[in-house]
Amino acid sequence: MTTCKIAFIGAGSVVFTQGLLADLFAFPELKDAHIALHDIDAGRLATAHGAARHIAGERGAAPRITAHADRRAALDGADFVINIVQVGMRESTRTDFAVPASYGVRQTIGDTLGIGGIFRALRTFPLLRSLGRDIQELCPDAWLLNYTNPMAMNVQYLTQATGLTRVVGLCHSVYWTMRDLSDLLRVPYEEVSYQAAGVNHQAWVLRFEHDGTDLYPRLDALIADDAQLRRRVRVDMYRRLGYYPTETSEHSCEYVPWYLHHDDEIERLRLPVGAYLDIVDENAAEYEKTRAALASGAPLPVEGTMEYAPQIIHSITTGTPRTVYGNVPNHGLIDNLPAAGTVEVPCLVDALGVQPTRVGALPAQCAALNRTYLSMNDLVVRAALHDEPRHIRHAAMTDPATAAALPVERIWDLCDDMVRAHAELLQPSLRATLGH
């Protein structure tokens, strides 16, 4: 066995922590790992601790599990740091929807781009800066595996604000897109070869093959024969752009100006405005179920999630080679996207760490959308790095869905109201309201 220390920052996200631990303890080499759990909510931390012990027992693992209210204690000597923090929790998420909705701005998920993504990032950045400083001091050789959204903005900020280089953002969208496409075409996923690249939640399936045969023509025929498939945003985007996007319709509709602003498109494509609020409530209910089960001694489900973090940890600690999809700085990986942006590409993982693969140039139409996405990201990061509140407004003006919904004066008004609503969670230099 290979003993390593894995720190969970935001372990009170109990449902997600449970899935990651179930995956980790499925590897024999990781059954004796040191799991250091940290959360600022004592109740959630205790629940995560209890769930971790239960999952270890169900998996036949004998890890060392510790719980820490002090983040630095959790980080001290860690080999891997998994960040799953959500700053502001449910209350801030509701604000991210309610204030824009009062201006007529529709959102479905609100965690990547748009007004919701901008302010989720801005209230997360102070935590990331202090986390990065602690890692530099207490575990400078650790790999920081980030799950917190907005993924691309957070990874860009982390690398530029802290100087950390062993940072990779992880998301399951590519994996589950390819599983779903394989099921749709009734081809075993294990027999499919594919390549995807772009940005998080807006990457593109560049190759999709079975036994050396391109599967896109079969997908085209299926779509042509199925009117219900054509009522999905990602299918609509694929038909027009020629490459299948790697995120759900609920996500994809928020990153372009064509859908959410139009009532007929919302109906045609069955878009669930405000859907993430239901997910937030479901997660809260799952947490309460977990806490009640632990208190009563009832069994907890122990289910793997096929997430990338446990696979990366296993590959680095054992030298087992794997390919995963990671979000990393674009240092020459995609030619026609900005160098400072965070891109999602295939990555080789082995004892040497996470090694991104150079993809080259994306199709021009795909790169054009990704560049707008990364331009907005860059403005948000610059707002925080340079203490420039005007860049918050510039980012909102650049965002396709917000710009489609509001004239520029209303965008500035909306940003002012969001700043007021989230002020206590923002760095002081960004709390100014600017008017027009």
pLDDT recorded at residue 298 = 72
Instruction: Please classify residue 224 by burial: count the beta carbons closer than 10 Å to its beta carbon, then call 0-12 exposed, 13-18 middle and 19+ buried.
Output: exposed
CB contact burial 296-329 (16+ within 10 A = b; e otherwise)? eeeeeebeebebbbbbbbbbbbbeeeeebbbbbb
Report all structural domains of the chain as residue ranges with CATH numbers, in order of start.
5-171+299-313 (3.40.50.720)
* Residues annotated as part of the active site: 172
285 token code pair: 């209910």
8-state DSSP, 228: T
Non-local (6+) Cβ contacts of 124 within 8 A are 85, 87, 148, 154
* Residue linked to tokens 């239960």: 54
150 token code pair: 């907005």
The span from the first CA to the last CA of the chain, in angstroms, equals 61
* Residue linked to tokens 């399951």: 172
Averaged pLDDT for residues 216-230: 96
Q: Which residue has the higher pLDDT, 274 or 199?
A: 199
Averaged pLDDT for residues 204-212: 96
Q: What is the pLDDT of residues 44-91, one digit of tens each?
A: 999 999 999 999 998 999 999 999 999 999 999 999 999 999 998 889
pLDDT surpassing 70 at residue 342:
yes
> 402 by DSSP, 3-state: which?
helix
Closest CA to 384 of 376, 393, 392: 392
Q: Which residue has the higher pLDDT, 15 or 122?
A: 122
- Write the DSSP assignment of 147-209 as a string of letters: -PSSHHHHHHHHHHHH---SEEE--SHHHHHHHHHHHHHT--GGGEEEEEEEETTEEEEEEEE
* Beta carbons of 352 and 167 less than 8 angstroms apart: no
199 token code pair: 């940005």
| C-alpha to C-alpha distance for 181 and 208, rounded to whole angstroms | 9
Beta bridge pairs of residue 210: 192, 213
Beta bridge pairs of residue 145: 82, 168
Give the chain's mean pLDDT: 94
8-state DSSP, 232: S
Calculate what percentage of the chain has a pLDDT beyond 90.
86
8-state DSSP, 38: E
Query: What is the CB neighbour count within 10 angstroms for residue 332?
Result: 11
pLDDT recorded at residue 2 = 58
| C-alpha to C-alpha distance for 204 and 336, rounded to whole angstroms | 14
* Beta carbons of 18 and 290 less than 8 angstroms apart: yes
* Beta carbons of 170 and 147 less than 8 angstroms apart: yes
- CA distances to 123, 147, 189, 213, 330 from 75, rounded to whole Å, are 22, 17, 37, 47, 27
pLDDT recorded at residue 436 = 64
Tell me the pTM: 0.95
Closest CA to 117 of 381, 340, 407, 409: 381
Averaged pLDDT for residues 336-365: 97
What's the alpha-carbon Rg for the chain, to the nearest Å? 21
> 146 by DSSP, 3-state: which?
strand
Cα 285-290-291 angle, rounded to 5 deg: 95
Q: What is the pLDDT of residues 121-137, one digit of tens each?
A: 999 999 999 999 999 99
Q: What is the pLDDT of residues 239-260, one digit of tens each?
A: 999 999 999 899 999 999 999 9
Pairing type for strands 167-169 and 192-199 reads: unpaired
* Beta carbons of 383 and 397 less than 8 angstroms apart: no
Instruction: Please classify residue 349 by burial: count the beta carbons closer than 10 Å to its beta carbon, then call 0-12 exposed, 13-18 middle and 19+ buried.
Output: buried
- Write the DSSP assignment of 249-314 as a string of letters: HHHHGGGSSSSTT-HHHHHHTT--TTHHHHHHHHHHHHHHHHHHHHHHT----------HHHHHHH
8-state DSSP, 357: P
